[in-house]
Structures are given as structure tokens and as C-alpha cells.
């Protein structure tokens, strides 16, 4: 198809040039030459010039098209063998390299990498941010391994390194060095971690067994690093939330202190206390999905804008259910704007049908918002905030929890 297009292009240019040449030169000869003999002489010369010029034109046209075809073939070849995002070899080449090693039966090492939380990064930010992280990690790995090593992007968030002419100790040493280097990945404010597994083939085992061994080590690395990975995931969520909304880290920290004290006053179990603290940090993650014009509006929201803002509980719930590290608090996120009398949202739950942690959070959040400045309002005093909590006791808030909370804060400051 490309060749046909090029041929038509060359023929079209040649035809157009020929027509213009004949019409223009014949007209000029008729205007300038009166003698018939001179006319024939110049006509013959014109023909020779036309042959020379058209031959040169055809040569340059064909050469230009051939160079374009060659470049197109090189690009096609590159796309067949390389990942267009990172410029590394692709999975197909990785698999072919393993097959070639099977045939040659030489010792080699295999190191596998996985970026933890890439899907979450794409959801919280956008695919451009995730792609930037992939390119950054690809460049770091490429700079950290020997020039003779084979490096491929073997999956969406995965990379593979093949090393020949090395022994088991060299593979282990390189893997441990890489593990230390990639223990924490920082790209701007974005945080992530990398899991790593490796294997060495010294006994001419099939490559599938070597891959299985490396993948098992990779899974063990993920399991061992689960706490660090979870922290990185949560930090990424918090960073995105603070950047997109009027929520601040100081607000979350104050709420954490209140939550710990209130939870202990309520004799909540250890796991519930931890869930409550996590909820204070992440209850508004759905605001990441609200339009900036609504989210950052300094004045009062219109009815339509308020309805849009109310969607943050449902958006946050859907996000949390897709993130393993926080899915256990997803329902609390959904219900943290429910009212004790049933007039809240999104489900209109009433009384103890609302989860306890959601009822607790509602009180803590309201108190902290009232007692600290916001873009749209000035802070009130502790006494004024307590009076407002009393006013909403039994309507917006659980009456028994209000009594306990007010008793707790009356004689102590939690700023």
C-alpha cells in the first residue's frame, strides 16, 4: 500500500511537471521566436533540457520516497521488537531471548521487577503520570545494569533483565544492589516501591522453570514488602487528595489525634482504632474525582454543584473497593455523610444502621472543620463548636457519641 502510494505520488508529480513544462515553454517559444528554423532548433534544445531536468527530478523523487520507505520499515521493525513507551525490548523479544537461551544451553541469570501500585497511580492521577513513572524506572534500571545485559518491559508494570557470562554470586549481588536502589521510588511527590525476584540457571534447566523460580521469588518479595508497599499506596492517595481538594495534611493529623483519643474513650478494639485513623486520612478520597471548578470554589455552591459534591462519597467508595490496602474501610467512606435521623446521603441510613466508625468520624470531622479556618469561613471557638454539636445531637449526630465526645474535649485540647 505504501509502495503504491509512493509510485502514484512520483507519477503525479512527473505528469504535472511535464504538462507545465510543455505548456509554458511552447508558449514562450511562440512569443519570443519568429523564425521557423530557430523555432525547431530551440524546440529540440528544449526537449534535451526537459530530458535532463525530468531525469534529475525523477531521481530525487524516487530517492526521497525510498528513504521514507526505509524509515517506515525501520519504525515497523522497531515497533515489532521494542516497547514504544520506554524504548526497551518488548515481551515478544523477551520470550524469543529465553527460547534462544534454551537452544544455546548457556548459564544465565534472570531478574524480574514489578512496580507496586501502578494501577492506583493511573487512577488517582492519570495515565501520563503512570507512564512518566514507567519511563523513569526503565531509565534507572538501564543505567544500573551492565551494558551487555538484555532489558525488556515484560508486562504493564513489569521488567525483566537477562544476564549472560555471569555466575550465581554476580546475579545475587546485582539483584541485591538493585533491590536497595529501588526500595523507594520517588518521582516528584509521587511515591512507589519495587518488588524484585531473581533466579540463576547453571544446570541447563528449561527457561520456563527459571522464570517460575524468579516469579516465586518476586511474589515472596511482594509479600515481605507488603507494609512498605501499602504505606506507599496510602501516601500516594493522600498526596493526590491534598493536591486536588481543600483537605490539608494538618486537618488529617488533627483528626487522627482526635480519633485515637475518642476511639480509646469508646474502648474500640485495636483493629477498629487503626481503621478509624486510616478513615480520618482517606474518607474524602472521592473528592479526587470531583471537578476542580466545584471542588475549589471559594463561595457557596449552587444546588447543582452541591449535588455534584455529594457524589464524592460514592466515588470514594468505588475507588476504595478497587484498592486492596483500603478496601476494608470502603463502606465507612461511603457512609460518613449519613445523618442519625436518616436525612444524610447517599443511602439515607438511620441510627445504628450507620456504621459506628462513620458516626464517630462525622463528629470528629465536623468539630475540626468548625474550630479551624477554611477558605469559605472563619473558625469558631470551642464553646461555639460544642453548642453546634449539641444543636445537631440526635439529628445529624449519634446522641450518645456526642455526650462522650463533648465530655472528652471539654477539659483537653487536641490541636
Query: Which element (helix H / strand E) includes 116?
Result: strand 108-116
CB 336 within 8 A of CB 358: yes
Could you give the C-alpha distances from 315 to 123, 235, 243, 412, in angstroms and in order? 12, 19, 17, 36
Is pLDDT at 106 greater than 60 in this prediction?
Answer: yes
Strand residues in 231-375 grouped as ranges (E): none
- Distance, CA of 125 to CA of 23 (rounded, Å): 63
Q: How much is the mean pLDDT over the chain?
A: 83
Burial class of 377 by CB neighbour count within 10 A (0 to 12, 13 to 18, 19+): exposed
Which residue in 341, 358, 337 sits closest to 394, CA to CA?
341
Could you give the C-alpha distances from 37 to 25, 28, 29, 271, in angstroms and in order? 17, 16, 12, 110
Residue of higher predicted confidence among 35 and 371: 371
Residues 6+ apart with CB under 8 A from 265: 404, 408
Q: What is the pLDDT of residue 188?
A: 63
Is pLDDT at 232 greater than 70 in this prediction?
Answer: no
- Per-residue pLDDT of 82-91, as tens digits, reads 899 999 999 9
Which residue in 401, 289, 310 sits closest to 352, CA to CA?
401
SS3 168: helix
- Rounded to 5 degrees, φ, ψ at 346 are -95, -15
Supply 103's cell numbers. 537452544
CB 150 within 8 A of CB 165: no
Supply 398's cell numbers. 449519634
Residue 171 DSSP label: H
Q: What is the pLDDT of residue 252?
A: 82
Is pLDDT at 227 greater than 70 in this prediction?
Answer: no
Average pLDDT estimate for 99-125: 85
Which residue in 148, 152, 183 sits closest to 166, CA to CA?
148
- Per DSSP, what are the bridge partners of residue 59? none
- Per-residue pLDDT of 178-224, as tens digits, reads 888 776 676 665 667 788 999 999 878 899 999 999 999 888 877 66
Q: What is the pLDDT of residue 126?
A: 74
SS3 21: helix
Confidence of residue 42 (pLDDT cuts 50, 70, 90): low
Is pLDDT at 238 greater than 90 in this prediction?
Answer: no
pTM above the 0.95 mark? Answer: no
Could you give the C-alpha distances from 189 to 118, 193, 228, 289, 327, in angstroms and in order? 15, 13, 17, 19, 24
For residue 284, how many other CB atoms are within 10 A of its CB? 23
CB 393 within 8 A of CB 399: yes
Sheet holding 158-164, edge to edge: 150-153, 158-164, 108-116, 190-201, 185-187
Which residue in 324, 408, 329 sits closest to 367, CA to CA?
408
Residue 193 DSSP label: E
- Per DSSP, what are the bridge partners of residue 161? 111, 151
Give residue 10's Cα distance to chain centre: 45
| Cis amide prior to 357 (ω within 30 degrees) | no
Compute the radius of gyration of the chain from its Cα atoms: 35
Is pLDDT at 310 greater than 90 in this prediction?
Answer: yes
- Per-residue pLDDT of 202-213, as tens digits, reads 878 899 999 999
Amino acid at each position: 500500500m505504501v509502495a503504491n502510494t509512493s509510485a502514484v505520488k512520483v507519477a503525479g508529480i512527473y505528469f504535472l511537471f511535464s504538462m507545465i513544462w510543455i505548456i509554458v515553454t511552447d508558449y514562450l517559444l511562440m512569443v519570443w521566436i519568429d523564425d521557423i528554423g530557430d523555432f525547431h532548433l530551440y524546440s529540440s534544445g528544449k526537449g534535451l533540457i526537459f530530458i535532463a531536468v525530468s531525469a534529475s527530478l525523477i531521481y530525487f523523487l524516487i530517492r526521497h520516497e525510498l528513504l521514507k520507505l526505509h524509515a517506515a520499515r525501520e519504525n515497523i521493525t522497531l515497533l515489532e521488537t521494542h516497547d514504544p513507551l520506554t524504548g526497551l525490548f518488548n515481551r515478544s523479544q523477551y520470550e524469543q531471548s529465553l527460547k534462544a537461551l534454551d537452544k544455546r544451553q548457556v548459564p544465565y541469570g534472570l531478574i524480574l521487577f514489578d512496580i507496586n501500585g501502578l494501577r492506583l497511580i493511573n487512577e488517582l492521577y492519570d495515565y501520563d503520570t503512570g507512564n512518566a513513572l514507567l519511563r523513569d524506572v526503565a531509565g534507572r534500571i538501564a543505567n544500573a545494569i551492565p551494558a551487555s545485559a538484555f532489558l525488556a518491559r515484560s508486562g504493564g508494570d513489569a521488567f525483566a533483565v537477562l544476564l549472560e557470562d555471569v555466575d550465581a554470586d554476580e546475579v545475587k549481588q546485582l539483584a541485591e544492589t538493585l533491590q536497595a536502589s529501588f526500595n523507594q521510588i520517588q518521582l516528584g511527590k509521587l511515591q512507589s516501591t519495587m518488588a524484585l525476584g531473581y533466579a540463576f540457571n547453571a544446570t541447563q534447566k528449561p527457561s520456563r522453570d527459571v522464570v517460575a523460580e524468579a516469579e516465586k521469588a518476586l511474589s515472596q518479595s511482594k509479600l515481605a514488602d507488603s507494609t512498605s508497599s501499602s504505606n506507599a499506596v496510602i501516601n500516594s492517595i493522600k498526596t493526590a487528595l491534598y493536591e486536588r481538594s481543600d483537605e490539608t495534611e494538618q486537618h488529617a493529623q488533627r483528626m487522627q489525634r482526635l480519633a485515637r483519643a475518642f476511639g480509646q474513650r469508646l474502648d474500640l478494639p485495636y483493629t477498629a482504632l487503626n481503621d478509624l485513623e486510616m478513615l480520618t486520612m482517606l474518607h474524602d478520597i472521592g473528592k479526587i474525582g470531583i471537578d476542580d471548578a466545584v471542588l475549589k470554589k471559594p463561595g457557596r455552591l449552587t444546588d447543582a454543584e452541591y449535588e455534584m459534591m455529594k457524589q464524592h462519597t460514592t466515588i470514594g467508595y468505588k475507588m476504595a473497593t478497587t484498592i486492596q490496602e483500603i478496601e476494608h474501610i470502603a463502606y465507612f467512606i461511603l457512609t460518613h455523610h449519613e445523618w442519625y435521623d436518616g436525612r444524610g446521603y447517599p443511602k439515607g441510613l438511620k441510627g445504628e444502621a450507620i456504621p459506628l466508625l462513620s458516626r464517630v468520624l462525622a463528629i470528629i470531622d465536623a468539630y475540626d472543620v468548625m474550630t479551624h479556618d477554611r477558605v469559605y469561613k472563619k473558625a469558631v471557638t470551642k464553646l461555639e463548636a460544642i453548642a453546634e454539636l449539641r444543636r445537631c445531637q440526635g439529628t445529624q449526630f449519634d446522641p450518645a457519641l456526642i455526650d462522650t465526645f463533648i465530655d472528652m474535649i471539654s477539659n483537653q485540647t487536641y490541636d
